[in-house]
Amino acid sequence: MKVAVLKGGRSLERGVSLRSGARVEDALERLGHEVLPIDVGPDLVKRLGAERPDVAFVAMHGVGGEDGTVQELLEILGIPFTGPGAAACARCMDKVQAKDAIDEAGLPTPEWFAFNQTAFREFGAADALGRLEETLGFPLVVKPSRGGSSLGVKFARSPGEVPQALVSAFSYDDRVLLERFVDGRELAVSILGDEPLPVVEAILLEGDRYDFEARYEIGRTRFACPAELTAEEERAVTETALATYRALGCTGFARIDLILGESGPWLLEANAIPGLTDTSLLPQAAEAAGLSFEQLVERILDLALRPAAA
């Protein structure tokens, strides 16, 4: 089969995407497929038109490749592709949209308020900050609505830190959200087809639990898979994740990130195209389920070609 691997592009996560892509290409070759690696650029449509691959493996992260843009093009070109469709990708990429959908489905997600720059620049939204801070409490989390790999995510510990955190978050997107901080265990549930894979837990290695930035530094966090959960916890977590996956309209695969607090799971976000590098969580979860990386890639292709097989 001729498989186009779409990777790279101009997003801030280009580096991770190239690594995901290279690993997928290796696996596809070993599986005996004809591989067409494409570093996505202005010639994408022309190349796809000329090469007519049987299927496109989308190994792109961030804006452009994970937000439905490339997926929309592939839908128009009639080329089957891996991962969620254009609409689901767009919903997952935008944390505000995703939280709206999650909330509407009656699933738990930490309380939040979203603003775009215009609200601050033209309508004096800054004057509402005090009240929001009272509602959300401290610390609170400030995030760009669209952005991956935790770039621009800041924790404000006091009112004085909020404006600075907003400036950082606005560096990545025009819209940001302020979210209540929920304390608990950090979990990720990868879903393949309609099957939740074993839960991964991110465990902080050093620093105290309020050293928030440490969570995002590779090397300061250890990942445990499967996470040590009671049967009850595990059921609650995977059911919530699966319900989220469906509420967002995902197909193929996705990774759902959540916090397991005292009262149960809280949904943070969904990643339509989680990383596939050798340190990424989806491959780790697949491996814990007994799937080799090749088997994972083959299964993802299957799901793209025969959605009904899910």
Partner 1 sequence: MSIRHTSGMTEVPEPTHRRRSHAGTRDLERYAGLFAERTSVMRSSAMRDLMAITARPEVISLAGGLPDTSTFPPQSFAAQMTRIAQESAAKALQYGPTEGFEETKDCILEVMGAEGMLPDPDDIIVTTGGQQAIDLVCKTLLDPGDVVICEAPTYPGAIPTLCSYQADVVQVECDERGMQVELLEQLLAELREEGRRVKFIYSVPSFQNPAGVSMSLERRRRLVELARAQELLVVEDNPYGLLRYGGEPMPPLYQLDGGDFVIYLGTFSKILSPGIRLGWAVAPPPVMEKIVLGKQAADLCTSTLTQYFVREYFAERRWQSYVGDLVEIYRGRRDTMVEALRTHFPAEATWTEPEGGLFIWATLPDYIDTGDLLAKALRADVAFVPGQAAYVDGRGSHSMRLNFSGVNDEEIHEGVRRIGKVIAEQVELYGTLTGEHRVPEPEQESTPNVVPFRKAGEVG
Which residue numbers are catalytic?
A: 13, 149, 216, 255, 257, 269, 271, 275
Q: How far is the CB of 110 from partner 1 (least distance, A)?
A: 22
DSSP 309: G
CA neighbor of 240 nearest in space, from 108, 93, 88: 108
Binding mask of the shown chain, residues 239 to 278, with x at each position contacting partner 1 by CB under 8 A? ---------------------------------------x
Q: Which of residues 58-87 bind partner 1 (CB under 8 A)?
A: none
Question: Residue 34, interface with partner 1 (CB under 8 A)?
Answer: no
133 contributes a contact to partner 1 by CB under 8 A: no
Distances from the Cα of 233 to the Cα of 220, 225, 230, 240, 263, angstroms: 26, 15, 5, 11, 11
Judged by CB under 8 A, which of 2, 51, 294, 307 binds partner 1?
294
Residues 297 and 166: their CA atoms lie apart, in Å, by: 39
Q: Is 174 in the site for partner 1 (CB under 8 A)?
A: no
Q: Does 206 interact with partner 1 (rule: CB under 8 A)?
A: no
Near partner 1 by CB under 8 A: residue from 77, 87, 105, 126:
126
What does the alpha-carbon distance between residue 226 and residue 89 come to, in Å, rounded to a whole number?
Answer: 27
From the CB of 295, what's the least distance to partner 1, in Å? 8
DSSP string, 173-185: -SEEEEEE---SE
Q: Does 163 bind partner 1 (CB under 8 A)?
A: yes
Report the nearest approach of partner 1 to the CB of residue 220 (Å): 8
**Site for partner 1 contains 151 (CB under 8 A):** yes
Residue 128 engages partner 1 in binding (rule: CB under 8 A): no
In angstroms, the CA 239 to CA 223 distance is: 21
Residue 296 and residue 60: Cα distance in Å, rounded? 17
Name the segment binding partner 1 (CB under 8 A); options: 52-60, 97-105, 113-121, 186-194: 113-121
Contact 38, 4 (CB under 8 A): yes
Secondary structure of residue 40 in the 3-state scheme: coil
Q: Residue 82 or residue 284: which is nearer to partner 1 going by CB?
A: 284
Neighbour count for residue 72 (Cβ, 10 Å): 15
User: What is d(CA 212, CA 259) in angstroms, rounded to the nearest whole number?
Assistant: 14
**Residue position matching structure tokens 């929001």:** 132
Closest to partner 1 by CB, 81 or 172: 172
Query: Interface with partner 1 by CB under 8 A: which residues?
Result: 10, 12-16, 18, 22-23, 25-27, 29-30, 117, 120-121, 126-127, 129, 149-152, 162-164, 166-172, 213, 216-220, 278-279, 287, 292-294
